[in-house]
Chains A and B, each alone.
Chain A
Amino acid sequence: MDCRVVLAQVEPTLGNVSANLEVHLREIRAAIEAKADIIVFPELSLTGYFLRDQTSEVALALDSGALQEIADFSGRISIAVGFAERGRDGRVYNAMAWYEDGELLELHRKVHLVHYGMFDEARDFAPGERFRAFESKHGRFGLLICEDMWHVGSSWVHFLSNVDALFVASAGPARGVTEDETGLRSMHVWNKIHDTLALLYQTWIVYVNRVGSEDGILFGGGSRVVDPHGRETVAIAGFDPGRVTAHLDSDVLRRARVSTPLRRDEKPWIIARELTRLASGGQPQ
């Protein structure tokens, strides 16, 4: 795996798929021009975030024209895009699709819908049921959407699946402005999570957050890439739309895994045994 990834920190318009599609196509063309291999968009990038009753109105079936237009560009660059997906059975998912060579290569449906505090996703979306790594021509990857990352099991499964990089799409609000830290508390927390998990899972983490404002809630941006040592390599500062290119380097990955072979020494069968016991109602001891 050696590839150039563009993080497209865009500002989706709520519920306006055609306007958002234009922005996506513009970003994709620019990334192709810059000879990037992959472009990643934030969570629900084609539809906007606080959709509420608009969710089912703007949800896109996988054979929709908007997604087909994106797919058509994927012969020249691999594309990860976020949208409300209308499933065949009428359920709507908070989804992230990976298009490559004109095809839908992987579809991740957000498992950990967030429905507390300011969030109400479980009311509007059905949850996904799986975490699967997939083989892109650029490497072995895993997709996660925002809250998925807050549950360590999600990325742990990808770690066990030997991914080279995790791609995390997010619609993370900006909040926490008191003086105990410099900058937004919400961004510090995210950065801590990326840095820690990249270090523990020895994987590249590509985090793409959106910007813009929906009824007074500002999305925090702060898209960034962290290397398998837990160190930031590129980032977009501030709350403006922007793009940055990262180089995901397999040599860095290899060296990190040689110096500290955490994956080699992981013992998932023990964890599986313990999980079976806990999941079947066994008491923690």
Chain B
Amino acid sequence: MIAVLALIVGVVLGVVLEPTVPVALQPYLPIAVVAALDAVFGGIRAKLDGIFDDKQFVVSFVSNVLVAGLIVYLGDQLGVGGQLSTGVVVVLGVRIFGNVAAIRRHLFRA
């Protein structure tokens, strides 16, 4: 419940403050968002499975974001930033789909 509220507060803050993304962060923000979404869906699935753990969720959230950003950074340094970002997004997307499928099975038994 608190998590949902916090999410809403964050969205409202973003809408109200209308910040602009710093140029240095521009390549990383979308990947970080996707990685964080992956962690969130993983957390929801774990919650439904009854094995949710606060510490694990926090660690996975942070590490997901950091690793995703690191991979993009490495890709930029190696000159394959675009392709590597695509790869990260694909992998995270597959994981999100898997988690969503598990959540769906939980909720609808289908």
Q: Answer yes or no: do A and B interact.
A: no
